[in-house]
Structure 1
């Protein structure tokens, strides 16, 4: 059955490399074009009665390919010109930059993106501090049960991996240190090496890196899944502040538990170092303890543990920020989780370097 819009069928023939059309050349008759129609050098439309936008688009495409368009009436030619003028023109490609200019452009874009990211992190840190102030003014708004739960998740569940890692680090330090110090007959100084390295730097730094990889991803995944399911929007609809419900207990739990994990890391690091010193060098545990208490200042412990709250703040803010940036799809959740882990570990290492410079400058 012929469509009622189609008044005249299309008859097409090819002769001498020219496509001759007769009838209506519309969207309803485009499929009647014969095979090889797109390879002709010209199109004769002197017997075409009706022409619509679909036919005009086809003609313009053939014209751009080099085919001659002949036989159009005045009205049809004006219609084709109108369609030609209405065609969207692609934006001109930007001229290729020279190598040094392209490098400067990429560097500038990365700097601007980094500054924007830092501004967003500062915003979330401010939101956390504002939530702390609100919890102090209105204790009933603070969710203590949520805090205890997150302390267990970020603290107690991380104890086994932190303890094992620190023990092995102590063992490695003692073994490698003993191999080097034995050449100079200074084996006893391996105790100083282990104590200063673990208490001042490695204990809290490696603990923070483990927590960053473990907890930053968990924060992003938990908040991000709620964002995907529109639970955060539902909280706002119910009059609940996401900063009080989601950000405050998670970051505060990290600030509480990371110093404790750092202390556990120090103890197991020293234990591993003492055990390897006993096995490798014959330094008895009593001698290790005496040398540790006599020669190692408590300042090293203070320096190490003073970094913990700052590291915890960095990890918590980055994880919560990434969770709140998750979109509506699972791909966004995976990308933000990966970004949060990398950013948290990088930020912790940078902060530790700044702490080292600061304590060196003040002589501590």
Structure 2
């Protein structure tokens, strides 16, 4: 390159000579006047790295004008310079973008989270509507019932979960009885430990612990199963055969959990009360016959009905969320893991929030 009185650019401007050319460009940038004549006729080999250096030296607008009117410039180099100038317009020599403040970033993150929650809620409501529509369409057509699939899912989600549900609620019932006795002993009211255990398990702990276990155990299984089928293109094959994935995959799982969760809730209530009875018999000298007599006398049947009424609602939501997240899998094993985690988190969150809302409503209604 020669720099007086104008500038004549020649030679190869390629990545192989990038370091040497960059040093010359940096040396000329401050001393090259805007009105200096520039010739591009001697330009040899050229690639995008060299064109980017020319943009850095002359500016995208000036280089584009020079390339357009340079008569000795080959057409392919002229086109490359034009493309690079357009791509780097407003970038070369521009001011770096200002980083937003921490407050704006925080507000943006909150807004994005709320927008995602809104979209997710809409997708869940839409999937609930599709599931209910498919359910009502098949109820009057017994030939389309998937009895075998229903029984299989009932075994997996209900019968196989029975031991863990019974053991967990038995231990929690024992812990609640022990803590209740410890606190009530200071008031001389250890006898009311029976009321505490029965009331808590019939209304809340029985159905809530069972629903949380099913959210972690069954919803994740539903998501992984449907997600794996989607990744293996099995669901596409089902659609190609003219079958409905909702009818074939979703309904048996939803109906199985609708049957299994109330039964497991009943077992959880019995196990929790039994755990409290063991602690009362061993630590408080409350015999099993006295324990049962207090239950029959002081605990109304409506507490049992309140707990059982929550079970089908929780079961439906857990099954629908698990199936919906399975259909959101994009095809990779990483996506299957992410959606499985998302289904568990969403199911537990929805169950706890809904249980809290129902509890507040029932408390206000005096039920």
Whole-angstrom CA distance in 2 between matches of 1:109 and 1:259:
37
CA contact (8 A) 2:55 2:85 kept: no
Q: Which residue of 1 aligns with 2:180?
A: 177
Which residue, out of 6, 20, 23, partners 1:39? Answer: 23
Which residue, out of 61, 71, 75, partners 1:75? Answer: 71
Structure 1 residues 211 and 50, CA, compared in 2 at 3 Å: closer, same or farther?
Answer: same
Displacement after TM superposition at 1:116 (Å): 1.3
Which residue, out of 35, 56, 60, partners 2:51? Answer: 56
CA contact (8 A) 1:220 1:323 kept: yes
Secondary structure class of the residue paired with 2:71? helix
Whole-angstrom CA distance in 1 between matches of 2:246 and 2:163:
30
1:158 is aligned to 2:161: yes
State the aligned residue count. 342
CA contact (8 A) 1:38 1:62 kept: no
User: 1:131-280 maps to which residues of 2 (within 5 A)?
Assistant: 131-280=134-283
Secondary structure class of the residue paired with 2:286? coil
Give the aligned CA root-mean-square deviation in angstroms: 3.3
Displacement after TM superposition at 1:48 (Å): 2.8
CA offsets, 1:104-131, max 9 Å, x none? 4433332222121111111111111112
CA offsets, 1:219-270, max 9 Å, x none? 1000000010111111111000001001100011111100000000011101
* Between structures 1 and 2, the one with greater helix share: 2
Structure 1 residues 328 and 46, CA, compared in 2 at 3 Å: closer, same or farther?
Answer: closer
Whole-angstrom CA distance in 2 between matches of 1:304 and 1:22:
85
Secondary structure class of the residue paired with 1:75? coil
Q: Which residue of 1 aligns with 2:353?
A: 350
Q: Which residue of 2 aligns with 1:4?
A: none
Bigger drift between 76-85 and 217-226 goes to: 76-85
Secondary structure class of the residue paired with 2:249? helix
Whole-angstrom CA distance in 2 between matches of 1:139 and 1:350:
36
Whole-angstrom CA distance in 1 between matches of 2:179 and 2:215:
27
Structure 1 residues 42 and 298, CA, compared in 2 at 3 Å: closer, same or farther?
Answer: same
Which residue, out of 305, 318, 330, partners 2:308? Answer: 305
1:314 is aligned to 2:317: yes
Secondary structure class of the residue paired with 1:155? helix
For structure 1, the residue ranges without an aligned partner over 5 or more in a row are: 1-12, 65-70
Structure 1 residues 262 and 145, CA, compared in 2 at 3 Å: closer, same or farther?
Answer: same
For structure 2, the residue ranges without an aligned partner over 5 or more in a row are: 30-37, 60-65
Structure 1 residues 93 and 197, CA, compared in 2 at 3 Å: closer, same or farther?
Answer: farther
Bigger drift between 47-56 and 207-216 goes to: 47-56
CA contact (8 A) 2:13 2:21 kept: no
Q: Which residue of 1 aligns with 2:342?
A: 339
Secondary structure class of the residue paired with 1:194? helix
Q: Which residue of 1 aligns with 2:33?
A: none
Displacement after TM superposition at 1:190 (Å): 0.5
Whole-angstrom CA distance in 1 between matches of 2:349 and 2:82:
58
